[in-house]
Homo-oligomer: A and B are copies of this chain.
């Protein structure tokens, strides 16, 4: 489990943390059923407040990627498998966008727009 954040990024810290977890899941380095490091451990490792990590975890929970219960910690949900499956297709779309001169920001916005239409 490698979680990275860039304090100079314009993206919110909790978004960066959530993004790190998604990256691990999509890459298959974090499979369904596995347990995430405790929020307190992550907070200490990244030198960030506990609540910031918890907000990231809750965001992932809202997305259905992890399940959380107090006392037990955060566990990657079964939906993670679907997430990993989508990875290759997402990467293909990114590559295709790149050949057309469309950057990451624009593509992500386009996908979000497409999702809102359906």
A interface majority secondary structure? helix
Query: Chain B residues with Cβ under 8 A from A107's Cβ?
Result: 86, 90, 111, 115
Query: Chain B residues with Cβ under 8 A from A65's Cβ?
Result: 106
A94: which of B95, B103, B106, B118 is its contact (CB, 8 Å)?
B118
The count of identical subunits is 2
CB <8 Å contact, A86 and B82: no
Report the count of interface residues on A (CB-CB < 8 A).
43
Q: A22-B113, A26-B114, A85-B100 are in contact. List 20 more A-B contacts (CB 8 A).
A: A19-B109, A22-B109, A22-B110, A23-B113, A23-B116, A23-B117, A26-B110, A63-B105, A79-B100, A82-B100, A83-B102, A83-B106, A86-B97, A89-B93, A91-B114, A98-B118, A107-B111, A107-B115, A108-B108, A108-B115
